[in-house]
Amino acid sequence: MDSIIQGFLGAVRLIITLDPEFLHIIFLSLQVSGTALVVATCLGLPVGALLAQRRVPGRGLILSLLSTGMGLPPVVVGLFFYLLLSRSGPLGFLALLYTPSAMIIVQTVLAFPIVASLSHAAIAKVDPVIRQAAVTLGATPMQEVLTVVREARYGIMAGVMAGLGRVMAEVGGILIVGGNIAGYTRVITTTIVLKTSMGDFELAIALGIILLLIALGINLGLRFFQQAGGVRSGVILWD
Amino acid sequence: MGLILEVAGLAKTYPGQTVLRECSFTFKPGRTYALMGPNGSGKSTFLRIAALLEPPDAGEVRYLENGAVRPHDLALRRRLNLLLPRIGVFNTSVFHNVAYGLKIRGRRAQEIEARVNDILLQVGLDHKRGQNGLDLSSGETKRLGIARSLVIEPEVFMLDEPTANIDLKNTEIIEQIILSMKAAAKATIILVTHDPAQAKRVGDHLLALENGHIVPL
């Protein structure tokens, strides 16, 4: 019991004193997951929009693959990219293993299906009359697509927030390809795993509190976007 | 000399139903046409084809200007407008809904501001300028749809039952807007309506869609 109390007190001290190592780990986590999310959104949103608005060959299969991808086990993705990026692997020449870049790649692969799939769902739900209105008012094909995407913005943002939740909490994949190197690839989740296994609870608890606060923020954001999108949007609610 | 809309030999068949057959007519610039016909007679289909939103199975839609046929490109499409029975209101303010057509045409902010404010005043929605378009009543929504069309100054303006399912007050307002446009004679107006009295009040020419043909009444 004493070790838990000591751990909490130490954690509070770390948070209050803004310990540099503690801050660096949080910053790196946000940097890696934030970058992965931006890349996943840049790739996932157009894919979701394309699948929702155009007749794409194999659309059903692609959607099934994306749905499956939403539940990809992070350790399997980590293992796959470890094999690809290891010195003897086909992409070993890139020398990305045990770098933040490798962690970003793994997290991007994990977030991409979530963003693409939920963007697709949000865009597909937009009432077709919105697209027709854009066309009759003289929109070009690109303006028409952007108008529909804009109408689905709350659903898309909910997808992005869900993707952020997935990558921020992820540990298996980035541990394999990042290596948990202090000051370089050590992020919140991998530090918690390491420090817990060492019985050093102060930093683990402090980072756990921060992770919970981030998760709370993500969920509040998700709730906001879901409510905003549900209450008023071009989305059909009554059909 | 404005755009002349000429349809020739239009045919359209949906599974189990032929709605247009050998349908031909010429709509002169600056005139107002009221098109009537029973439910399912093909009025909406005709408007969608004339507005270049869907192709006919056979026949041609021609827009002529100075004796030459205009290609069916974006430039031509932007000179036409079809007000659909269901207004697709964008999830944004009334102002930005109305400004949409000008924004996608790349107009300057100052011009957009002035034009939209002017149109909102015309349709009686100036006091709802900052309100979300989705919060309007059904009559106001129809007026919003008309405002979005008016702001882009279509040369051929097609309205598909603009006063269906709205109250008398809003019907009168919308008719007044159409009559103002008619008086200005800048656009060809094709109004689809079920109401013969409205057709007489608004139209220069009364037409009916019968057995797939457009016939003058």
CA distance B207 to B45: 15
Chains A and B form CB pairs within 8 A to the count of 61
CATH 3.40.50.720 fits B4-216, yes or no: no
Give the pLDDT confidence score for residue A51 in this predicted structure: 95
pLDDT digit string (tens) for A155-179? 999 899 999 989 999 999 999 999 9
Q: Which of A136, A147, A151 sits opposite B81 (nearest CB)?
A: A136
Q: What is the DSSP letter of B131?
A: S
Cα separation, B126 vs B109, in Å, equals 18
Query: A69-73, A217-221, B20-24, B59-63: lowest mean pLDDT where?
Result: A217-221
At residue A233, the pLDDT reads 40
Whether chain A has a CB inside 8 Å of the CB on B51: the answer is yes
Q: Is A227 on the interface with B (CB under 8 A)?
A: no
Query: Tens digits of per-residue pLDDT, B157-207?
Result: 999 999 998 899 999 999 999 999 999 888 999 999 989 999 999 999 999
Q: What are the domain boundaries of chain A?
A: 2-231
* Whole-structure pTM value: 0.85
Pairing of strands B58-65, B80-83: unpaired
ipTM: 0.92
Residues 6+ apart with CB under 8 A from A87: A97
Distance CA B28, CA B4 (A): 5
More confident residue, B17 or A171: A171
Other residues' Cβ atoms within 10 Å of the Cβ of residue A11: 21
Whether the CB of A15 is below 8 Å from some CB of chain B: the reply is: no
Q: Which amino acid is at A10?
A: G
pLDDT value for B69: 92
Tell if the CB–CB gap between B88 and A232 is shorter than 8 Å.
no
Q: At a CB cut-off of 8 Å and minimum separation 6, what does B94 contact?
A: B120, B125, B128, B129, B130, B131, B132, B133, B136, B144
Give the N- to C-terminal CA distance of chain B in Å, as an integer: 26
* pLDDT value of residue A229: 59
Query: Are residues B53 and B35 in contact, defined by beta-carbon separation less than 8 angstroms?
Result: no
User: How far apart, in whole angstroms, are the C-alpha atoms of residue A130 and residue B1?
Assistant: 33
User: In B123-167, which residue ranges form alpha helices assigned H by DSSP?
Assistant: 138-151
Nearest CA in chain B to A132: B88
pLDDT of residue B1: 64
Identify whether the C-beta of residue A116 lies closer than 8 Å to the C-beta of residue A47: yes
Give domain limits for chain B.
4-216
pLDDT at A239 over 70: no
Q: Specify whether the CB–CB gap between B163 and B195 falls below 8 A.
A: yes
Alpha-carbon distance B146 to B170, whole Å? 12
- Count of residues making up chain B: 217
A83 vs chain B: nearest CA distance in angstroms? 47
The residues with which B7 forms a beta bridge, in sequence order, are: B25, B61
For residue B101, give the chain A residue with the closest CA.
A137
Q: What average pLDDT does this structure show over B43-54?
A: 95
The Cα B35–Cα B189 span in angstroms is: 10
Contact, A232 vs B132, CB < 8 A?
Answer: yes
B75 burial via Cβ count (<10 Å: 0-12, 13-18, 19+): exposed
Strand partners, B36: B208
CB contacts of B54 in chain A (<8 Å) are none
Contact B176, B124 (CB under 8 A): no
Longest CA pairwise span in chain B (Å): 52
pLDDT in tens, B114-166: 999 999 999 999 999 999 999 999 999 999 999 999 999 999 999 999 999 88
Contact call for A138 and B84, based on CB within 8 A: no
Residue B146 and residue B119 in contact, taking contact as beta carbons nearer than 8 Å:
no
Dihedral sign of CA atoms A70, A76, A78, A83 in order: negative
Which chain A residue has its CA at the smallest distance from B157's CA?
A136
Q: Assign domain A2-231 to its CATH architecture.
A: Orthogonal Bundle (1.10)
Q: Which residues of A touch B74 (CB under 8 A)?
A: 138, 140
Are β-strands B4-14 and B58-65 bridged in parallel, bridged antiparallel, or unpaired? antiparallel
Q: How far apart are CA A50 and CA A120, in angstroms?
A: 8
Distance from C-alpha of B7 to C-alpha of B108, rounded to nearest angstrom: 36
> Which B residues 11-40 touch A at CB under 8 Å?
none
Q: Average pLDDT of chain B? A: 93
